[in-house]
A and B are shown apart, each in its own frame.
Chain A
Amino acid sequence: MAQRGGPGKLGTGKLITAFATALLLSSGAALACELGDGGSEISGGGVTVSYRPVDGAIASGAFFELDVAVCTADGAPGTLTAVDATMPAHGHGMNYKPVVTETAPGRYRVEGLMFHMTGSWQFRFDAEADGKAVTLTVDRMVEK
């Protein structure tokens, strides 16, 4: 694209290029952590975690799996180190220990989750990004 404008000023071409690059970076960050329909997202400490039950709704007394994506603020893949869940009001966690498997950079399948009673559970995602450990929690109500 031909440069326009005088010295010391960005020409229109460079402005369009810069804008397009910024747009691409921000949409890339969003896309990197997007899991599609049914996915939920939580962020904190410079990390975004998206998660989605593989088979849709979570029912008590049945094993389920999660797809999880972990991203840094600029959309780079992060690392998921562990996933767990507790019932804070009851003072107990799951009777089963989930297993995390990386399926692609920043993408994970978590198996072995089971909520053995209805009520208010809380997911815990342990992640690493840019050399820092981050823990994010999110509540999940299970009604049946």
Chain B
Amino acid sequence: MIRGAVAALAIVAASAANGETRPVSYTVQERAAILSHGPWPVSTKPDPSNRVSGDPAAIAFGKKLFFDARLSKFGRLSCASCHDPEKAFTDQLPKSMGVEQVDRNAPSLYNLRLKRWFGWDGTADSLWAQSLRPFLDAREFASSPELLEECLTGAVDLAEGYRDVFGHPPGVDSPETVMVNTAKALAAFQETLVTGPTPFDRFRDALSEGRAYPANDFPPAARRGLRIFVGKGRCSLCHSGPNFTNGEFHDIGLAHFAAPGRVDPGRHGGVVDVRNSPFNLLGAHNDDPAKSTAQPVKYLRQDHRNWGAFAVPSLRQIAETAPYMHDGSLATLEDVVRHYSELDEGRLHADGEQLLRPLKLNDAEIADMVAFLRALSASTGY
């Protein structure tokens, strides 16, 4: 009997060291941090700066436009070219290819209504302002307000769609207004791209209610990874809240060069651009007379530490959106976790934040973190 008890203890000890069967429990602080990542989904209201936000006709027209290659100069590219619904609204390339290759990775388009800034550098402070960027970028659609107006005016179906949403045909408006209105319809559609509850969300809700939760849906590896995420990983500091992002920008020790000899200014350039943009929320194209959502750009500060800082992406659906980082330089989730585990502090700004330090995770911990990140994906309609 003693021999059996020793054998049982050895099995438990071996299992505990392996981390496979030991129950995962959380401290009071860890539990509070876990609960802060929900509940999900988060309810939203229409964007007051976009008068057609939430409008069914605008959503339908925006969806049509999203897949229409006529909007680009050479008729070969639509929004879906880089934001493919079957690829979680990305293109699974390190850097996207418009008319030419661009400097950055195509971010996913899920849950955009929750964002404060748009783009890896935050050069847009509204979804509709972000949606008109491809028209103006010579490497993306290589279009212009004039070309866009010509396109919409010359296509019966597009002119009718525009009239149905805005009350008059596109030819009545100036080219710039046509472009802004087109972007607002595109934004109305993109706002509908929301994700549902994930295995993490169901586990989080069970934890909140004091219920047990089946291991097969949110397994022990994911639970251990979650504990690292809210604990020694300190991931929750920046990947915070229900959408797993604080909506701001940080330097995480990645290369600052878009190409040999050419720096990517990141957030620093984004601050300059959004302040100077005629399409920011302080400008005339904001449909809200009170400009109630313009606080971010109104009070925006420029700091040296903005150089090399890029947007903190949401981690929802993150398993579907490889490759990772603003330049697509990390191919897999494991590469991402290893980046933080082996962080080169010498690559961080000397006068920057002192947030990050190498996590020094072992292989099992890295696997656990990846398991947790995979549990942040929900099935979608696409």
Binding site for B on A (CB under 8 A): 60-61, 63, 89-99, 111-112, 114, 116-119, 143-144
Q: What A residues does B367 contact at CB under 8 A?
A: none
Interface: B17 (CB within 8 A): no
B162 CB, nearest partner CB in chain A, Å = 35
Residues A91 and B247 in contact, CB atoms below 8 Å apart: no
Q: Per a CB cutoff under 8 Å, which of A60, A90, A93, A96 touches B300?
A: A96
Interface: B171 (CB within 8 A): no
Q: What A residues does B32 contact at CB under 8 A?
A: 143
B373 CB, nearest partner CB in chain A, Å = 20
Interface residues on B, range: 20 to 34
Residues A97 and B352 in contact, CB atoms below 8 Å apart: no
Q: A112-B295, A116-B247, A117-B237 are in contact. Are A91 and B352 (CB under 8 A)?
A: yes
Residues B354 and A116 in contact, CB atoms below 8 Å apart: no
Q: Please give me the residue from chain A that is nearest to B237 by CB atom.
A: A117
Q: A96-B295, A97-B299 are in contact. List 14 more A-B contacts (CB 8 A).
A: A61-B246, A63-B296, A89-B354, A90-B353, A91-B353, A91-B354, A92-B352, A112-B295, A116-B246, A117-B240, A118-B36, A118-B237, A118-B240, A144-B36
Q: What A residues does B237 contact at CB under 8 A?
A: 117-119
CA separation between A22 and B237, bound complex, in Å?
51
Interface: B241 (CB within 8 A): yes
Residues A92 and B295 in contact, CB atoms below 8 Å apart: no
* B232-263 interface bits toward A, Cβ cutoff 8 Å, 1 = contact, 0 = none: 00000110110000111100000000000000
Q: Please give me the residue from chain A that is nearest to B306 by CB atom.
A: A95
B31 CB, nearest partner CB in chain A, Å = 13
* B341-360 interface bits toward A, Cβ cutoff 8 Å, 1 = contact, 0 = none: 00000000000111100000
Q: Please give me the residue from chain A that is nearest to B243 by CB atom.
A: A61
Binding site for A on B (CB under 8 A): 32, 36, 237-238, 240-241, 246-249, 295-296, 298-301, 303, 305, 352-355
Q: Please give me the residue from chain A that is nearest to B241 by CB atom.
A: A61
16 A-B pairs with C-beta separation under 8 A? A60-B240, A61-B240, A61-B247, A90-B353, A90-B354, A91-B352, A92-B305, A93-B303, A95-B303, A96-B299, A97-B299, A112-B299, A114-B295, A116-B246, A116-B248, A118-B240
Q: What B residues does A116 contact at CB under 8 A?
A: 246-248
A143 CB, nearest partner CB in chain B, Å = 8
CA separation between A95 and B295, bound complex, in Å?
12
CA separation between A97 and B301, bound complex, in Å?
5
Q: What A residues does B246 contact at CB under 8 A?
A: 60-61, 116-117
CA separation between A99 and B301, bound complex, in Å?
11
Q: What B residues does A63 contact at CB under 8 A?
A: 295-296, 299
Interface of A is mostly: loop
CA separation between A60 and B248, bound complex, in Å?
12
A117 CB, nearest partner CB in chain B, Å = 5
B51 CB, nearest partner CB in chain A, Å = 23
CA separation between A60 and B239, bound complex, in Å?
13
B282 CB, nearest partner CB in chain A, Å = 13
Q: Please give me the residue from chain B that is nearest to A94 by CB atom.
A: B301
CA separation between A111 and B295, bound complex, in Å?
9
Q: What A residues does B298 contact at CB under 8 A?
A: 112
Q: What B residues does A94 contact at CB under 8 A?
A: 301
CA separation between A98 and B354, bound complex, in Å?
23
Q: Please give me the residue from chain B that is nearest to A112 by CB atom.
A: B299
A101 CB, nearest partner CB in chain B, Å = 13
Residues A117 and B301 in contact, CB atoms below 8 Å apart: no
Q: Please give me the residue from chain B that is nearest to A144 by CB atom.
A: B36
Q: What B residues does A89 contact at CB under 8 A?
A: 354
Q: What B residues does A143 contact at CB under 8 A?
A: 32
Q: What B residues does A99 contact at CB under 8 A?
A: 299
Q: Per a CB cutoff under 8 Å, which of A60, A92, A97 touches B353?
A: A92
Q: What A residues does B240 contact at CB under 8 A?
A: 60-61, 117-118
B307 CB, nearest partner CB in chain A, Å = 14
B302 CB, nearest partner CB in chain A, Å = 9
CA separation between A95 and B247, bound complex, in Å?
11
Q: A112-B295, A117-B238, A118-B237 are in contact. Are A95 and B248 (CB under 8 A)?
A: yes
CA separation between A63 and B296, bound complex, in Å?
8
CA separation between A99 and B309, bound complex, in Å?
25
CA separation between A66 and B273, bound complex, in Å?
29
B69 CB, nearest partner CB in chain A, Å = 38
CA separation between A143 and B29, bound complex, in Å?
11
CA separation between A114 and B247, bound complex, in Å?
12
CA separation between A93 and B354, bound complex, in Å?
11
B351 CB, nearest partner CB in chain A, Å = 8
